Chains A and B, each alone.
Chain A
């Protein structure tokens, strides 16, 4: 957020969701979906390059060196997962995946293959822009290799360098695992993290299948952080996929 603030003021402040004018490669075979995405993204001031097939998309990504790739998983010529894997062989460019609802395993596979986030079809453009924004921000941070010690959203303040968690002005005491869990989410704030990713990060790779560890600690963490744990504001559940820390 601090990064975003340093950017020059956008042409149309606030009305525009994207704070910088990124280059986007859109890989999507449905012309109608391309049409409205084109309208939206161009209106946001993006430089847009479209591809209707996976091969074409890979070529565009290589030639255009985009800031972000928006990829539909269901392509006519190749599996969307293969597109992700082939992109990841040479670039860390953020990838936001478009996928149908009810195919949670596809989303997990895409995220595990290296995608940064996903949007379920049908989606509103607002949702897609939010995901693009979060992914771009994380990419910038990675590029600069600068950790962001302080994170804040709503009443929740987390300072990673001081290991301090404050909710509504009161410091909250977390167990080491709770803190590691929260810290992992803070590092990827706004991005969905799969169960497997969180388990590997917090407990270590041997625990990648013990999803209920994660669920139990998430419940504990919510009781300490959320005002109403049953209607969380910060620690959001992505059913069947993972968890996300609200970034805004």
Chain B
């Protein structure tokens, strides 16, 4: 990769980071190789220095383990009282996060970053508490041992043989603004250990003694030093980047790690993280969903999600690709993202399978071109870490009953046929029964059926009869084979069924997601959108669902529920609000606030949280697998984007309406100033001359002036009416009073009203006698006709004819008004319907509202109005009046 340009995305990320850093508290880590090196002591000393400088320092929680010299340092520092948590028979002292947030000191000391909180705390882990403190703007001093760092976890386990369960994500370490290494040479640490100066819990004495061997301590010290050095290096790079951007902009490498569903994937991710850190590279962890993915057992698919989660925690970008072949997808993505190195695990396929099927590594190496391929070996993990909240499924007693019943039935059939057929065929009957059970029940009942089948076969049909004793030892082979065959067949059947089930379930979810996205894409308003989303979601996650949206004050409140209200109280609402503010999943089945009655997922759009989704599954287990949680998150993401889009749409629409209103106001002002003033000027002028010099004017002149006053007043009346009509139509203030009536009457009324203006115009009317009644508001449609006719008179030469015709077509009547004027200039056919648009001669009188009113009126009738040039010259206006679905009852004829 040879890119030297600063990546704009990276710059943006940096800017954002800095923005966030300003409002965030600072995190200072006192980092050590092992317990007993003096981290707490160093932290307290630092706190005392701060205190002496007058900084507001509070001790959040400190484990002094009864050491006098450490306790002495606490003297004079404000210590927050611990939160007492009842746990089984004892009470635990826990750090009181809420008290700390309420106290809001400048600096707080929180010992043991990797600590696991007692059950019932808001967060499962102390580091989560610390993040919340930082978000609240409080600077946190804390301590950490190297074995608790997630990415070093497996290395430590390898060195010491002790698996450390309490780990913190590397991202927390990375967030630290300062890391202070508290170092003590191993010999000195061992001496302190002997002097009893290092606190060790009683129960694990032996294991910990193993841990504190000199070799281990040296290795751990090296790890801690190296990790700190990496960190310092990164800081230096950042410093150089900030101060000499052009010169030292690093040639960032990108590493793409492909993970598989194998349990080794976690190891691969950790190894890659170390590689990425050493190279100072960005890293992406990718999983390729090939068609085989759907056939994987649930546990393997869960593992994939867990691996991707782990990668995210370690600071990787994760991506799930899909395609038919893994190697092609990986390389295509790698090229698209300018990846320089691809990391894969050592292939797990046995040698013969690799020869027959080929391996992904071979394919990658063959096609990688300029991209380096790293093959990393892995070691089986001690045991896959299971989420704490998975409870074993209760045994399915009816299925066991079914298994026994089927074996009983088989025995009955075999008993009846026993005299006629050989033993081998009886075995077949039992095997058939076992397969039957396998297709209905799970592993347990099927295994039971297998064993009981063999036992029943032995008891009833193998001599000596009605005894488990076997006379011929050869039958033992028969039993063994029968048992193995039964177990294998049943195992395969159960697995196929499970795969088919999960494939179906997955397909259902994908289909539901697709259906939801498709429907959401066509829904515009927020409420409709939520209803749609919840309806779709409930098909996949049955249970109570609720969406919380923030009000104007930024507090979330239930906006919509499905199918009924969640059990909601202040504490549930508080959880929802916490989720909204922190944009993290919390509640039922998660590590944060697990006591809540529902699971709360933040709805995070591209511009931040837009709301919260609350779910109380009908079956509590249904959200326990990471894959299902992931699915729920996928739905939530879709919803969030849709809500955000709707919100933006609403905003845009409001802005547009405002702009339109502004434009209208301007046009109106200019129209009013010109078009209304012209007739007013005439009226004022003519009437004043009559007033002032009426005597001197001749009778003919006086008549002329009076007539022009009258004419202009009428014109003014038309203008004002048009303006009022338009305003009313736009404001929705017009109530449409539709009645079934013949068009003829309305045409007649319009012609009557325009009698004087149409005096010298031949008006041809062509209305078929059988024209159906139309459901129209006579007053409004009369106005349409008047405006169009008036327009025709205005824009066509005097004496030229005007044609009015109508015809029924389908369920609508089309009305046509045509003149022999100049017609339209190109593009004017549509523009004439715009408000304040006046076509043709600039001197034409009017405000340019008449036709806009016409279209608005036809719109409220559900019809369409348009204009065209007339063949042979002139303009033609057409509009449709839909007849609707129903017809009027025909008046009874008489006579």
Which residues of A approach B to under 8 Å, CB–CB?
Answer: 101-102, 104, 122, 124, 174-178, 210-213, 215-219, 222-223, 228-232, 236-240
Contacts and interface: CB of A to CB of B under 8 A. Distances in A.
Given A176-B895, A177-B894, A237-B752, A215 B745 contact: yes
Interface stretch (B202-210, B381-389, B409-417, B734-742): B734-742
A217 B891 contact: yes
A178 B888 contact: no
A122 B713 contact: yes
A102 to B, nearest CB: 7
B751 A239 contact: no
Interface range on chain B: under 10, 10 to 19, 20 to 34, or 35 or more? 35 or more
Interface stretch (B528-536, B648-656, B717-725): B717-725
B895 A177 contact: yes
B749 interface: yes
Contact of B773 (A178, A216, A232): A216
Contacts of A177: 894-895
A222 B744 contact: yes
B747 interface: yes
Contact of B749 (A102, A104, A211, A237): A237
Interface in B839-895: 888-891, 893-895
Given A177-B894, A215-B742, A215-B745, A102 B765 contact: no
A102 B725 contact: yes
A199 B779 CA distance: 19
A55 to B, nearest CB: 30
B895 A230 contact: no
Contacts of B893: 175
Given A177-B894, A215-B739, A102 B744 contact: no
Contact of B721 (A102, A178, A211, A236): A102
Contacts of A231: 748, 751-752, 763, 765
B802 interface: no
Given A215-B773, A239-B778, A229 B748 contact: yes
A222 B745 CA distance: 9
Interface of B: 710, 713, 717, 721, 724-725, 728, 737, 739-742, 744-749, 751-752, 763, 765, 767, 769, 773, 777-779, 782, 804, 888-891, 893-895
A210 B891 contact: yes
12 contacts: A102-B728, A122-B713, A175-B893, A177-B895, A216-B773, A218-B742, A218-B745, A223-B769, A230-B765, A230-B804, A231-B748, A240-B737
Contacts of B782: 239
B804 to A, nearest CB: 8
B807 to A, nearest CB: 15
A230 B748 CA distance: 5
A104 B739 CA distance: 14
Contacts of A218: 742, 745
Nearest to B721: A101
B713 to A, nearest CB: 7
Given A102-B779, A210-B889, 7 more contacts: A101-B721, A104-B779, A216-B773, A219-B744, A222-B744, A230-B744, A239-B778
Given A215-B741, A215-B742, A240 B894 contact: no
B361 to A, nearest CB: 83
Contacts of B763: 231
Nearest to A178: B895
Given A104-B779, A211-B741, A239-B782, A176 B725 contact: no
B724, B725, B745, B804: which has the most chain A beta carbons within 10 Å? B745
Contacts of A217: 891
A237 B773 CA distance: 16
B724 A102 contact: yes
A102, A230, A232: which has the most chain B beta carbons within 10 Å? A230
Contacts of B779: 102, 104, 239-240
Given A174-B895, A178-B895, A212 B888 contact: yes
Given A236-B752, A240-B737, A212 B747 contact: no
B750 to A, nearest CB: 8
A237 B739 contact: no
A213 B769 CA distance: 17
A97 to B, nearest CB: 17
A18 B475 CA distance: 132
A239 B782 CA distance: 7
B742 A216 contact: yes
Given A101-B721, A177-B895, A231-B752, A239 B746 contact: yes
Nearest to A121: B717
Top-8 shortest CB links A-B: A175-B895, A212-B740, A215-B741, A240-B779, A213-B891, A237-B749, A230-B765, A219-B742
Contacts of B740: 211-212, 215
A178 B894 CA distance: 9
Given A176-B895, A236-B752, A230 B741 contact: no
B751 to A, nearest CB: 5
A135 to B, nearest CB: 21
A119 to B, nearest CB: 14
B211 to A, nearest CB: 93
A237 B765 contact: no
B739 A211 contact: yes
Nearest to A229: B744
A174 B728 CA distance: 43
Given A102-B725, A211-B739, A211-B741, A216 B748 contact: no
A219, A228, A239: which has the most chain B beta carbons within 10 Å? A239
A236 B744 CA distance: 12
A219 B745 contact: yes
A69 B13 CA distance: 82
Contacts of B895: 174-178
B849 to A, nearest CB: 15
Contact of B748 (A101, A102, A178, A237): A237
A87 B663 CA distance: 50
Contacts of A176: 894-895
B867 to A, nearest CB: 23
A212 B725 contact: no
Nearest to B751: A231
A88 to B, nearest CB: 26
Nearest to A226: B748
Contacts of A223: 769
A104 B778 CA distance: 11
Given A216-B742, A239-B746, A122 B891 contact: no
B763 to A, nearest CB: 8
Nearest to A124: B710
A102 B777 CA distance: 12
A222 B767 CA distance: 14
Contact of A240 (B752, B778, B888): B778
Contact of A232 (B717, B725, B748, B894): B748
A232 B713 CA distance: 28
Contacts of B721: 101-102
A238 B750 CA distance: 10
Contact of B741 (A101, A124, A175, A212): A212
Nearest to B724: A102
B129 to A, nearest CB: 69
Nearest to A203: B891
Contacts of B889: 210
A228 B752 CA distance: 13
A180 to B, nearest CB: 10
Contacts of A210: 889, 891
Given A215-B742, A218-B745, A219-B742, A175 B894 contact: yes
Nearest to B765: A230
A232 B746 CA distance: 11
Nearest to A213: B891
B854 to A, nearest CB: 16
Nearest to A232: B748
Contacts of B728: 102
A122 B126 CA distance: 82
Given A122-B717, A211-B741, A216-B891, A239 B767 contact: no
Nearest to B804: A230
